[in-house]
Amino acid sequence: MSLFDWFADRHKTAPVARNPQELPADDGLWSKCPECGLVVYRKDLLANASVCKGCGHHQRIDSEERIRLIADPGSFEPMDTELAPTDPLAFKDRRSYADRIRDSQQSTGLRDAVVTGICRSSGQPLALGVMDFRFMGGSMGSVVGEKLTRLIEAATARRYPVLIVCASGGARMQEGMLSLMQMAKISGALQRHQQAGLLYIPLLTHPTTGGVTASFAMLGDLILAEPKALIGFAGRRVIEQTLREKLPEGFQTAEYLQDHGFVDAIINRTQFKSTLATLLHIHKLNGNAAIGNP
């Protein structure tokens, strides 16, 4: 075996780390699963949609990667890219809201916590919104609400199905009531979309919490989730302190919510695009919507 062959073979996979503390979680070349400690070549992890082949753990991915996994190559046309948050309340805690916005924009390259646009997925038209947890925990402020509302309204006008990938800590406290208003605004747009006989699917990823869960994340015709995603409104500790009792094991996981009728299906990320294609095709055949072309 040549040195090149040996090196290439060594980069396919790596054994499970004996001590998970021995290696960083991600050094750029290798990536270590935070659940089972399996260390793999990063390119192999990305080729498997950032899902661990050892334990099936779904690592968090950004909006760009999510769009790549859902939209057909070259088909995604972003909407409302110029919209950016302001600081209407001049909010300041340990740091000013304006500083937090600026830092998040610089670190992510995004204007705010959601990317929206029109695309094709498996050849079928789709209005797609993807929340990005890197931007202030995916929190929902005025821009997130406005972009999602415009996306839904455009989908209604064109008679397209809507998919929103949820990943959020909830409403953005720095915008106060202006943030909470977005729950009603998005919900109203979804109601008009559904009254037109059009399909809306939310995909709940880790985590989906707070005002997002209390509004558009739970209003889908079909509510899908990724395995072991944290889904809920208040945090576990807050609920336990309020009720003064221990919550069941696995409470607020996607699996628990599916067992109790709040989630319709849990889909492995590697199978999501093909599952979505089937759902869109069934909806089109059902005759509820005259789906057009982007």
Gyration radius of the chain over CA positions = 20
Phi, psi angle pair for 147, to nearest 5°:
-65, -40
Amino acid at 103: D
Q: Consecutive 10-residue runs of the chain (294 residues): their mean pLDDT?
A: 38 37 60 94 95 96 98 98 96 96 98 98 98 98 98 98 98 97 98 97 98 98 98 93 92 97 98 98 74 41
- Interhelix angle for 63-70 vs 272-285, to 10°? 50
- H or E element at residue 14: strand 13-16
Both tokens assigned to 151:
């996306």
Q: Tokens 């993807």 sit at which residue?
A: 130
CA 108 to chain centre: 15
Domains and CATH numbers, the chain: 1-59 (no CATH), 60-285 (3.90.226.10)
Strand 162-168 with 200-208, pairing: parallel
Q: What's the rounded Cα separation, in Å, for the pair 180 and 169? A: 13
CA distance 206 to 166: 8
φ/ψ of residue 274, rounded to 5: -70, -35
Burial of 159 (0-12, 13-18, 19+ CB in 10 A): middle
- What pLDDT is recorded for position 286? 81
Q: What is the pLDDT of residues 178-188, one digit of tens each?
A: 999 999 999 99
Q: Give the bridge partners for 129, in sequence order.
A: 116, 164
CA 63 to chain CA centroid, Å, is 7
Report pLDDT digits (tens) over 188-198: 999 999 999 99
The phi, psi pair for 157, rounded to 5°, reads -65, -35
**Is residue 202 within a helix (H) or strand (E), and if so which, with residue range?**
strand 200-208
Burial (0-12, 13-18, 19+ Cβ within 10 Å), 273: middle
Number of H helices, E strands in the chain: 10, 10
The CA distance from 264 to 276, in Å, is 13
Tell me the residue type at 172: R
∠ CA 184-186-191 to the nearest 5 degrees?
Answer: 90
Instruction: Give 72-114 pLDDT, tens digit per residue.
Output: 999 999 999 999 999 999 999 999 999 999 999 999 999 999 9
Instruction: Please list, in sequence order, all residues whose beta carbon lies within 8 angstroms of the beta carbon of residue 120, skipping any fewer than 6 positions away.
Output: 71, 72, 75, 126, 294
Cα 23 from chain centre: 28
